[in-house]
Every structure is written in C-alpha cells, then in structure tokens.
Amino acid sequence: MDTSQTPQTRRLTPLSLSDLCAEYLGYQFRSKLDARSSQSTGVSMALHAPPLMLPVPLTSELDRIALVLVEAFLNRGK
C-alpha cells in the first residue's frame, strides 16, 4: 500500500449558527427554484430537507431570503 495515498477522513467539527443558516438557505433556494422550474416543465425532483434545529423566527426569515434569491435568479435580465 502506498503511504502517499492515505484516505482523507472528514473530521467532526462543531457547526456554527451561520453554517446551519447557510445550509438551510441553500436547501430552501434549491427547493423553491425546483418548484418554480417544475411548474413550467411538469417534472418535479424531490429534495429532502436536512435535519436542522433552528428557531422558527429564524427559519421564516431565511425562507423569505430564499424567495428573494429565487426571484432575482429567475428574473436576472429584466
């Protein structure tokens, strides 16, 4: 076995609130973008929400941000 090819293992690191928010926002953006594009194509892809423990007021704000991002992404030349 070649020692220069040691497998890289992922370390467990504590997640910060900003990391959790970024992960949630990324999921919501992809989910809402998929919902919009599936309306026009008729094909839907299922995304499974990551199990995140965030306060409800924070998730509602992140949901609003995701909607704004989707609108900006879909209407970017207008």
Range of the domain at 66: 16-42+53-78
Total of domains in the chain: 1
- 35 domain-assigned: yes
- 24 domain-assigned: yes
- 57 domain-assigned: yes
First and final C-alpha spacing in the chain: 57
pLDDT of residue 42: 63
- 3 domain-assigned: no
For the stretch 44-74, pLDDT in tens is 555 655 556 778 888 889 999 999 999 999 8
Determine the Cα–Cα distance for residues 44 and 34; give it in Å rounded to an integer: 7
